[in-house]
Chain A
Amino acid sequence: DAGVTQSPTHLIKTRGQQVTLRCSPKSGHDTVSWYQQALGQGPQFIFQYYEEEERQRGNFPDRFSGHQFPNYSSELNVNALLLGDSALYLCASSKGISDTQYFGPGTRLTVL
């Protein structure tokens, strides 16, 4: 039973660029949530997707956008990258909006 997978594992971008991160949920899960984790901090909720729609959103600017596909996989897009966007981006999946969330290994984004 495959767990949550994310790609790529590491990414280096420069300021102003755009980035797309990908997530495949755990088998049987239909809900994907994205988190940003700065070094030494706990994960911060970005948004959640269910039935291909954004259901909830945290306190992140519109530069952060996402998408969920019919197979439940999801993408996180960040435009106009800032140095402060450097972080570990985590994807979590669950069976429904309020069920227990299981995390992937994350994508380490470095913005130079």
Chain B
Amino acid sequence: GESVGLHLPTLSVQEGDNSIINCAYSNSASDYFIWYKQESGKGPQFIIDIRSNMDKRQGQRVTVLLNKTVKHLSLQIAATQPGDSAVYFCAEILSGNTPLVFGKGTRLSVIA
């Protein structure tokens, strides 16, 4: 079965608020995690990644947090904008050269 899952299938936030999208993984050997954004009719777009030797990584308006103790990953989007509306997937690489394993995704809707 899937080792990557998401707590919430949908999330609605007001424009300008911060968004937090959560993801759980089950394999403690996973060592690389990626967040992708997929807009309707498009392929997944790389947002940010993090390796298991880190617990936080920041990008432009986005932050990924990794809690290895509880095997939890989150994506924080600051000052959410209408253009952030999309489905967000976390993906995991178990170890070495194993392929990406995706979760089912969370749909983020931004309310103007």
Contact = CB atoms under 8 A, between A and B. Distances in A.
A33 interface: yes
Given A42-B89, A100-B49, A56 B97 contact: yes
Interface string B72-112: 00000000000000000101010011111111110000000
Interface of B: 4, 34, 36, 41-46, 49, 89, 91, 93, 96-105
Given A42-B104, A101-B100, 18 more contacts: A4-B43, A33-B99, A33-B100, A40-B104, A41-B104, A41-B105, A42-B91, A42-B102, A42-B103, A42-B105, A44-B102, A45-B101, A90-B44, A97-B97, A98-B97, A100-B49, A101-B34, A105-B43
Nearest to B9: A40
Contacts of B34: 100-101
A98 B94 CA distance: 11
A58 interface: yes
